[in-house]
Homo-oligomer: A and B are copies of this chain.
Amino acid sequence: MPHRKLIARLLSVVELSEQDQVRLRDMPHLIKTFRDGDFAARQGDSPVHCAVVMSGFLSRQRIVSDRNQISAFYIPGDVPDLHTLHLSAMDHDLCSEGASTVAFILHSHLRPILMASPGLTNAFWRETLIQGAIYREWVENLGSRAALPRVAHLFCELATRLEMVGLFHNGSFHLPITQQDVANACGLSTVHVNRTIQELRKMGLLEWREQIVSVLRRDKLENVAEFSAEYLHALEAPKPHETMRAAE
């Protein structure tokens, strides 16, 4: 069931006919595993396939002004380079954070499927639009918020997105990244991120040990972060967990 997470992800934001789900399930693909720091795609590539994250995390990053800026994290079910269907050049690296497995689907397989199904075209288009909404949220996060709420917002977003694909359990999730990565994502120094996280701990909002993040007081954390999940455009009706089951 390699496309289980992809289907779960799409079902969490759009309705899909049974037929379209079958189309997705049957897509031919190539599975690769990556180790920490491996690149699933490089800046300048013109990939002939799209990458579907099956397990683990990927980050989108690029060197800007001496810094390694991270502009997105991708979790299971995401298709980080879906845009290469229309914009051939990758303008960033896709880097594996910890170990990950990725299914690659050829553009030449994907295009006919999309041509045949307006429902899937809409689903994937919608998916890229939600990615766009996330980028906008990051712009606001970096442009407007002080360090503490900024870092808190990142945790809120990851928790909510992981919840949507069934990877948030009992207030905890697996986070295979370093404080350095958080710094690169938030536009802060590593030292300051460290102090900020200590502050969040001291406030009793979260724990983060051995790659496990535990959100202790989610409402309080979201309050500090001024987080509102609307921009992720999750469907109301099917609860994240039902969605997962439906896709299994």
Contacts and interface: CB of A to CB of B under 8 A. Distances in A.
B186 A143 contact: yes
Interface string A191-210: 00000000000000000000
B135 A132 contact: yes
A133 B91 contact: yes
Contacts of A125: 86, 125, 128
Interface of A is mostly: helix
A142 B187 contact: yes
Interface core residue of A125, A128, A140, A185 (most chain B CB under 10 Å): A140
Interface string A124-165: 011011111101101111111110010000000000000000
A238 interface: no
Interface string A74-95: 0000000001001101011000
A128 B86 CA distance: 10
A175 interface: no
A230 B44 CA distance: 10
B131 A87 contact: no
Contact of A140 (B69, B130, B145, B146): B69
**Nearest 3 pairs of A and B residues by beta carbon:** A143-B187, A135-B135, A64-B144
